[in-house]
Structure 1
Amino acid sequence: KEKFAALPLHPISVDQPFMQWGLDFIGVINPNSSQGHKWILTATDYFTKWTEAVALKE
Structure 2
Amino acid sequence: MLHTMSTTVEPATDRSADEVNEEIRALWRRSGGTLSGEQREEYQRLVLEWAAAAPQPARAA
Could you tell me the TM-score, scaled by structure 1's length? 0.23
Greater strand proportion? 1
Could you tell me the TM-score, scaled by structure 2's length? 0.23
Tell which structure's C-alpha radius of gyration is larger. Answer: 1
Ranked by relative contact order (alpha carbons within 8 Å, sequence separation 6 or more), the top structure is 2
